[in-house]
Amino acid sequence: MRLLLVEDDRRIARDVIALLEAQGHLVDHATDGEDAWFKGDVEDYAAVVLDLGLPGMDGLAVLKRWRENGRTMPVLVLSARGTWKERVEGIDAGADDYLPKPFEPEELAARLRALIRRSAGQGRPVLEIGDVALDPRAMRVSVKGVPRALSPQEFRLLDYLMLQAGRVVPPSELLEQLYGDEDSRETNTIEVLVGRLRKKLGVELISTRRGFGYTIERDDPAP
């Protein structure tokens, strides 16, 4: 998943980025309100971690502008402001969750996983479709109970497609979620990655819709 961390404290940002990247996420970082607003307004992030105490435009103003512009990505607010009134203000402005500082990085990661699952309509912590099971916390994938060794890109691709089950995902969207702005993005990158993933899984799971993208069918098709 491609995430945005908005945090001006370099030490906190370094620790959070290291944890999230170790869990297979791609993390963009903004240190002030203007940069945060711009990134969140033009990029499609799976989720955002937003500090309220920012230089320039504060986090609450950033969040309000995102929501006014129709940006619907889940947002987890961080703040040293711990009173219940300030938490309510953040949630009323459009936050999906609120974590006061100081916090444990593992709790932040767990809350993010829950937000991403809920935004995709998934309630279970382990994603299971057909014979394939994916555990985002442990970064494990198994087929019929047998573990499969995937590269970080293959894992992120499968994770994203399973969360988006029932929807055709364009290659351009997958590129945005899997690769940073400085990474090479050849036109056939996703096609090659899907081919490797199919081979490693060894089951019919990912379908190609020519001219549209890739999809995984839901186990419980929507009516």
Going from N- to C-terminal start, the domains of the chain cover 2-119, 127-216
- The correct CATH number of 2-119 out of 3.40.50.970, 2.130.10.10, 3.40.50.2300, 3.30.1330.10 is 3.40.50.2300
Give the pLDDT mean for 114-128.
88
Q: Lowest mean pLDDT: which of 46-50, 79-83, 100-104, 165-169?
A: 79-83
The answer for residues whose C-beta is within 8 angstroms of residue 167's C-beta and 6 or more apart is 215
- Average pLDDT of every residue of the chain: 89
The pLDDT-based confidence of 222 (bands split at 50, 70, 90) is very low
Please tell me whether residue 155 adopts helix, strand or coil conformation: helix
| Confidence at residue 187, expressed as pLDDT on a 0 to 100 scale | 62
Judged against a pLDDT cut of 90, whether residue 86 lies above it is answered with: no
Q: What angle do helix axes 105-119 and 10-22 make, rounded to 10 degrees?
A: 60
Q: Lowest mean pLDDT: which of 23-37, 71-85, 89-103?
A: 71-85
Q: Is the dihedral of CA 81, 82, 84, 88 positive or negative?
A: positive
127-216: CATH topology is: Arc Repressor Mutant, subunit A (1.10.10)
Inter-residue contact 13 to 29 (CB < 8 Å): yes
Inter-residue contact 133 to 142 (CB < 8 Å): yes
Q: What percent of the chain has pLDDT over 90?
A: 66
Which residues partner with 219 through β-bridges? none
Residues 138/94/27/24 CA torsion (nearest 10 deg): 10
pTM above 0.85, yes or no: no
Per-residue pLDDT reduced to its tens digit, 8-41: 999 999 999 999 998 888 999 999 999 999 999 9
Q: How many CB atoms lie within 10 A of CB 31?
A: 17
Please tell me whether residue 208 adopts helix, strand or coil conformation: strand
Amino acid identity, position 9: D
Give the pLDDT mean for 62-79.
94
Inter-residue contact 76 to 49 (CB < 8 Å): yes
CATH fold match for the domains 2-119 and 127-216: no
| Confidence at residue 28, expressed as pLDDT on a 0 to 100 scale | 95
| Confidence at residue 223, expressed as pLDDT on a 0 to 100 scale | 40
Q: How many CB atoms lie within 10 A of CB 66?
A: 21
| Confidence at residue 88, expressed as pLDDT on a 0 to 100 scale | 81
Inter-residue contact 168 to 215 (CB < 8 Å): yes
| Confidence at residue 128, expressed as pLDDT on a 0 to 100 scale | 94
- For 37-85, the DSSP string reads HHHHHHS--SEEEEESS-SSS-HHHHHHHHHHTT----EEEEES--SHH
